[in-house]
Amino acid sequence: MRELTGGEIRLAYGLFGDSLDYAAIRIHDRGYARLDAMGDMSFGGHIYLPHRHQPDFSVAPLAAQRLFIHEMVHVWQHQNRVLDLARAALRAWVGHGFRYADAYRFRLAVGRDLLDYGLEQQPAIIEEYFLRQRGGLPMGRCLNDDHEVAALLDEVLGRFLQDPGYARGRVHARRSRPAQLASDRNVAPTRRSPNANGAPTRSMA
């Protein structure tokens, strides 16, 4: 287990800014307890990488950096309580007919925000943005035509890129309105709580 390196903090800060408590994050070079068979994953605001750990992702190849960014989005979800993670994980698994890889696919659209997307779609979208900013090849998870992706990423990520902490408080606000809980189609975020319980988010990256 290790803390983030200074380079990793700088790499992540370019996307997440002050929305993360970087000192609280730990990276493990093993799997998480009894979920070791799930491989690389995030849980409880920590990152577990039994297969693709790097001593410093900031100097690693782009393919490793995009995995780091993907998992850091899950940490962002946890620390800011962007989703009800347990419910979102179950929805991602069951909602795609137990084909978890399908949970990463997304279609960008005008008028949609990052928070309109699911547990694995949010990291996949930010990962897509990260790769394109650095000239890397996309992961093939975006269902849009390639020529429209750049503009749509700016649209969907607009609020996140302006203020990565904008999502705090959304789940709490949603829970205060019981009528909205009748539908599980929408996902909303809440106030950051580093001690909040997380749910495992398996990496298929």
For residue range 162-174, list pLDDT tens digits in order.
999 999 866 645 5
Q: What confidence score (pLDDT) does residue 199 get?
A: 52
pLDDT value, residue 182: 37
Q: Answer for the pair 102, 94: CB distance below 8 angstroms, yes or no.
A: no
- Residue 49 structure tokens: 């990488």
Domain boundaries, the chain: 2-174
Phi-psi sector, 190: left (phi>0), alpha (psi -120 to 50), beta: beta
Residue appearing with tokens 């960008």:
108
pLDDT digits (tens, 9 = 90+) for 97-152: 545 578 899 999 999 999 999 999 999 999 999 999 999 988 899 999 999 999 99
What is the pLDDT, as a whole number, of residue 112?
98
- pTM for this entry: 0.77
Catalytic residue, chosen from 8, 71, 120, 128, is: 71
State how far the Cα of 51 lies from the Cα of 27, in Å rounded to an integer.
Answer: 12
Give the separation between CA 23 and CA 111, rounded to whole angstroms. 35
Q: Percent of the chain, pLDDT > 90?
A: 60
Q: How far apart are CA 18 and CA 166, in angstroms?
A: 11
**Which of 108, 104, 99 minimizes the C-alpha distance to 121?**
104
Is residue 71 part of the annotated active site? The answer reads yes
Average pLDDT over residues 17-28: 98
